[in-house]
Amino acid sequence: MSPSSNIPLRAIDYDHTLVLAIELSNKSWVLAAQVPGFPRTKAQRTIEPNKNALLAAIDGYRARAAAVGYAVDRVITTYEAGWSGFWLARWLVAQGVEVHVVQPSSVPVDRRLRRAKSDGIDAELLLRTLLAWLRGEPRVCSMAPIPDEADEDARRSVRERTELLSDRVGLTNRIGAVLATLGVNDYNPLLQSRRRPLRANDDETNAPLEITLEG
């Protein structure tokens, strides 16, 4: 597992460091960046949702900095932990990029911004959050440890099983509630003897309830 502490690993020379926030979605990725040579400009752009487009965007930011006489020696990125998992973080690390994955619930969000939520707002908020965290400001956010692939697969299996069990409980309760309105009590669809309560109850036409339900 790749650790991500709550303290930046080393001092940052912003004249030679690209700081980049990535807002992920299925349709596109929105980037917000602080580029060397443009300290007061937050460069934003939207790219295709894939790693090659992201690498090309990073190269584009490098070229933009080089055009005004600044060489990018270090790239620091962030994105929110969520549905996409940690594959992107591991891939970026393999490209020599420093990655910090933000715990979404740890980032304070103004309710007015939440109502006006868009990818652009989120990307810029992530960038401001990362910059504050890099400055060492307290209680800015929490960073998630980056698990290796085996650890993430194991976690995914546990999470998926928990979700399936929750779905099963919900469906079982719904079936029981519907049958209770028809006079069938103590029905448990998980038991092999689940049909016995149905056979013991006839509807108004005296037809077995299980045949009525299936037909």
- Show pLDDT as tens, one digit a residue, over the chain (215 residues): 544 544 456 789 999 999 999 999 989 999 999 999 998 777 889 999 999 999 999 999 999 999 999 999 999 999 998 877 799 999 999 999 999 999 888 877 664 555 444 444 589 999 999 999 999 888 889 898 888 766 655 566 656 667 777 877 888 888 878 777 777 777 777 777 777 766 666 554 455 555 454 44
Q: What pLDDT is stored for residue 42 in this prediction? A: 79
Tell me the pTM: 0.66
C-alpha distances (whole Å) from 105 to each of 16, 26, 117 are 31, 21, 15
Task: Strand 17-23: give its sheet, edge to edge.
Answer: 42-47, 29-34, 17-23, 74-80, 98-102, 143-144
The closest of 54, 99, 107, 49 to 76, measured between CA atoms, is 99
* Fold classified for 17-147: Nucleotidyltransferase; domain 5 (3.30.420)
**Cβ pair 188, 194 in contact under 8 A:** yes
Burial of 26 (0-12, 13-18, 19+ CB in 10 A): exposed
Amino acid (1-letter code) at residue 150: A
Cβ neighbours of 59 (radius 10 Å): 11
**pLDDT of 68:** 95
- What's the pLDDT score for residue 14? 94
Token code pair at residue 176: 């029981």
The answer for residues whose C-beta is within 8 angstroms of residue 47's C-beta and 6 or more apart is: 28, 29, 31, 53, 54, 56, 57
